Structure 1
């Protein structure tokens, strides 16, 4: 492996720092311990026990996904609560070069801040209008000022996040903060909006042409590459010159502008997933302006800006193997896919894949299932393919605690040729769309073109932000490079590569490059050290990335949450939450390499030692008084699971 752009090779750096943080694998410090014969094994459980809220949480998450990711499934009469409420709309606010706050959504303040489209030539007349939302502190005791939150993506709405989750955020960072959310360039209620298609209908029709996974049939990579190249070409044509001004450096500068207009010199920030790239870029550009910065679920800085992307799947198969292991440990009463060994469970799943590659499951409305299918928005026959199922399986790895139980039930039903439980899961995830109609009275046809101004996520941003970063290299995403990349990915992550390949594939055919491309070194001494948080097994932002990123910022600390899934938000851990609270309130960093246990384990597995603490927890003594107690904190952590 070639050395990274910013120094030592990733493998060397990760190995050195992982050893220094976690010690010997055989020590009782980590929930995951590699076994050469089969898979990761559980060596120490987390704290806590399964409460009644887990099942209610899972249902809530599924409803949340349907609401967020399936706008076409909503009734046409539903009011968009982020766009418009009680007659208020974003369009009612006149853009201003100052932060002029307007009451909105009953309990918030909203502003539309004008900033230069091109920060490198700010006198240019072209502007971006940022949608900014503020929830004021509910406690004036030791007021801390504004704290920015970004949920990641690219494409996540900071406005929507704060509007929906401010109470939970207040509990976990302190109610003595104003919580600030803004929609990054091109996203949500920020204008100009940036979409690859001219409207929802056009996007949906293109989606009908979606192809299978790269390993679904021989030669599929050629079709996929051509398909994505056409999409990239169309996206660049729609965005025009705007695509050159949507990069992370510009977003970081926008955040500084908001901070300055608020009257503050230093930033308090909590970023998750891609939000860690925004936070890390800000810290590298303005190291003297960091007051508190939590980087949770870390994207490797070097890979993001190099556009290579190979180590992000470092832990993906670990989480997949944990599904088999935990299912076996849970037993047949709790895991519907149970078998005599974890390997036997894996073989059941592979048997489902093999069968579907040859014989996709036919789902046909009958007198027995019509009402259930209609409740899912399925009004016509369809087939369930290998690609449908594998996509849903791998994306369930984002939320093991919430989804492993349902995934096992759906897979067991598929094995028995019943596709309805799987449809429920896949539709909730957004991998399968309800039946598409386009009659005169259909909401899908109401907008011939254009997108409404609303603060929700924009999936297109994952392409135009990611693909536009880094140095221009005509051959970086060529067909030949993609073929070799897919082969390398498969060697590195055989269980997950065919799904994860699509992340890099999305840049096929992309030509445009961000004008302000961040190229300065990340090595900076920030005015206050950064807190990096990483799960011991994260399916897309591995712990190694947190370790790798932390080396660029002297004095920073890595807090390890010993759980599965994407970011610490995927699994409640009061230990992690209390360290985060101590950091935001008092600037206290945990010792580098501190390990926090989760409060719950998938499949409702009872865990031991719920009253015990990780090494170094003596630093947390007395921190419970920062909130109204563990009951409120537990509620907040459950809510934050819905962020993903």
Structure 2
């Protein structure tokens, strides 16, 4: 179907969204009454008790605690939820500055698991001068979570109805929509404490401000990667005078993500509004070009040069489109392969000690699929467990086309503009079609003057949040500064640059920003030995 007809078809199918837009306007109006959004209202509102953190040893070198915070920040002395918190004390106690809070993003990644893994990658002087603290946001990990299912087996039975990766074809698309509508009903039916209405990033930002007070810091020092940048941008605009220093690494454009920047954006799903589909396509093309140029010794999937390798990839997808292949005990189809490939684009270099990672790992994976025998013709099924920990935040923060919208037409539009990986990004947030946005969410403004400038760091070849989104955030923030890393991968923390780390260290410790227009190189280029 021509692209123009796809767009017309989709606009016609979504005209009935007027009622949903009135609901969104009401949500935005109600949000103005929440503490932190309106300075005069915040001053008059009762304050929540500051959590008491009883630190105890947990992972080697780390300490853990539990913080009680309000379920509903509009009722600050009402029912509470628990947050799991982790800390690594500053190594130079005599010159300690304070606490650096870290959020790994996701949404849905537990900070208590992420911090021990990434701590060695932080600049040495940052580790010396700061206690580094992370936490599992409400609804995630060991914090209070949404009880959608009585046990994992019940959740797995529902998810077994799903195709791997994302749906292809009318039958799979219908099954996907039906399964996630049931998923949303399960979560609503079992949420007796009302947590589902209080899982937005704005709720988490208010929790973060209480944690800042709990550790005794007058202002917040913060590092957020990926979706953690959305938490940082939200905090900076809810509490603009409480920012000491903030690094937002591989950032989402918050206006595009939450509501869209134009009226036409409202008919698109969030990842299409941010351009994640196009960013993934550009990075995949770069991978195939670099793989072909590196040759089969460095990239197993190489086929002579870049164009030949791209042609080989097209033939692989054509084969997988006719039926799955057998990879070990698994049957891998086209959508599952594209989903795995998308995730393996995140890191250019292999993760030390972890086989099959980085761009070389992606080359090896694609070559395994290329040589694999055909699997039985039955479509592979299954979905990731604990999706409520992602969907609780993902759906709370965003305007999404409703369940009655023409999602197949949107998927076709995504494929027309971004190639084979495009539909992956559409179906990730179709899961939110029957899940209401949070009444507590924050939708702007995003340009409130902050007490300190904010540093946005971004890779030019990011396959998730495109570089343009980080640039838009830096331009939108009242006091933003962009530091560019000219390389590939998702997050500079995961694709290190000594140059960028030096800038971040000087900024976090002494408040010194990079010069305008500063550009760094990554430490590793794709397929470098």
TM-score normalised to the size of structure 2?
0.80
**CA separation in 2, counterparts of 1:270 and 1:258?**
15
* Counterpart position of 2:366: 411
Cα deviation 1:385-417 (Å, max 9, x = unaligned): 222222212221222333221222232233223
Aligned residue number for residue 329 of structure 1 = 293
Change (3 A) 1:583 1:463: same
Given that residues 299 and 312 in structure 1 are in contact (C-alpha distance below 8 angstroms), is that contact kept between their aligned partners in structure 2? no
CA spacing shift, 1:227–1:104, aligned 2, 3 Å: closer
**Runs of at least 5 residues in structure 1 that lack an aligned partner in the other structure:** 3-94, 364-372, 421-429, 434-456, 606-644
Aligned equivalents of 1:593 and 1:419: distance in 2? 51
Determine whether 1:460 maps to 2:388.
yes
- Change in Cα spacing, 1:185 to 1:389, as seen in structure 2 (3 Å) is same
CA shift, 1:468, in A, is: 1.8
Aligned partners of 1:592 and 1:170: how far apart in 2? 22
Which of 345, 361, 384 is 2:309 aligned to? 345
Note if contact 1:120-1:516 (Cα within 8 Å) is conserved in structure 2: no
The aligned runs of 1:527-538 (5 Å cut-off) are 527-538=451-462
Q: Deviation per CA, 1:557-577: give whole Å up to 9, x if none.
A: 111111111111232211111
Q: Could you tell me whether the CA contact under 8 Å between 2:68 and 2:81 is conserved in 1?
A: yes
Contact preservation (8 Å) 1:232, 1:508:
no
Please state if 1:357 is matched with 2:285: no
The one of 148, 160, 173 aligned to 1:221: 173
1:204 partnered with 2:156:
yes
Equivalent residue, structure 1, for 2:65: 111
> Per the alignment, do residues 385 and 553 of structure 1 end up closer, same or farther by CA in structure 2, a change over 3 Å counting?
closer
CA distance in 1, matches of 2:368, 2:65: 49
Please report the RMSD computed on the Cα atoms of aligned residues, expressed in angstroms.
2.7
Alignment map for 1:438-453 (pairs within 5 Å): none
Residue 577 and residue 154 in structure 1: after superposition, are their counterparts in 2 closer, same or farther (change >3 A)? same
- Quick check: 2:162–2:175 contact (8 Å CA) kept in 1? no
Unaligned 5+ residue runs, structure 2? 1-6, 12-48, 260-268, 351-357, 376-380
1:153 aligns with 2:106: yes
CA-CA distance at 1:496 after TM superposition:
1.3
Indicate whether 1:267 and 2:220 are aligned: yes
**1 CA distance for matches of 2:116 and 2:362?**
30
Shift of 1:142: 3.0
Question: Using the alignment, how far apart are the partners of 2:158 and 2:383 within structure 1?
Answer: 14
- Deviation, 1:158, is 1.5
* Aligned CA distance change for structure 1 residues 106 and 383 (closer, same or farther; 3 Å): closer
Change (3 A) 1:389 1:541: same
Which residue is equivalent to 1:639? none
With over 3 angstroms needed to count, the CA separation of the structure-2 counterparts of 1:339 and 1:493, relative to structure 1, is same
For 1:162-205, what per-residue CA distance to the aligned partner results, in whole angstroms no more than 9, with x for missing partners?
234334336262411011111110112212x2253332222333
| Matched residue SS, 1:468 | coil
- 1:495 matched to 2:420? The reply is yes
Pairing of 1:167-566 with structure 2 (within 5 A): 167-169=120-122, 171=124, 173-191=126-144, 193-212=145-164, 216-217=168-169, 220-240=172-192, 241-306=194-259, 308-310=270-272, 311-362=275-326, 378=329, 382-402=330-350, 403-417=358-372, 459-470=387-398, 476-510=401-435, 512-566=436-490
Misfit runs of 4+, over 6 Å: 430-433
1:263 partner SS: coil
Aligned partners of 1:97 and 1:183: how far apart in 2?
15
Change (3 A) 1:600 1:164: closer
The answer (yes or no) to whether the contact 1:196–1:239 under 8 Å persists in 2 is yes
Contact 1:413 1:419 in 2 (8 A): no
Residue deviations 1:574-606 (CA, integer Å, cap 9, x gap): 11111111111111111233111111122226x
Residue number in structure 2 paired with 1:29: none
Task: Give 3-state SS (helix, strand or coil) of 2:349's partner.
Answer: helix
Shift of 1:470: 4.6
Q: Contact 1:172–1:577 (CA<8 Å) still a contact in 2? A: no
Question: 1:56-93, CA deviations, whole angstroms, 9 ceiling, x for partnerless residues?
Answer: xxxxxxxxxxxxxxxxxxxxxxxxxxxxxxxxxxxxxx
Q: Residues of 1 paired with 2:290 and 2:499: CA distance?
A: 22
- Closer, same or farther in 2 for the Cα pair 1:139/1:339, shift >3 Å? same
Aligned residue in 2 for 1:448: none
Of structures 1 and 2, the one scoring higher in RCO (CA 8 A, sep 6+) is 1
CA contact (8 A) 1:267 1:291 kept: yes
Alignment correspondent of 2:44 = none
> Does structure 1 conserve the Cα–Cα contact (< 8 Å) formed by 2:345 and 2:362?
no
Query: Are the aligned partners of 2:166 and 2:336 in contact in 1 as well (CA < 8 Å)?
Result: no
241-250 or 170-179, larger mean C-alpha shift: 170-179
Aligned counterparts of 1:273 and 1:588: Cα–Cα separation in 2: 23
> CA 1:128–1:154 in structure 2 vs 1: closer, same or farther (change >3 Å)?
same
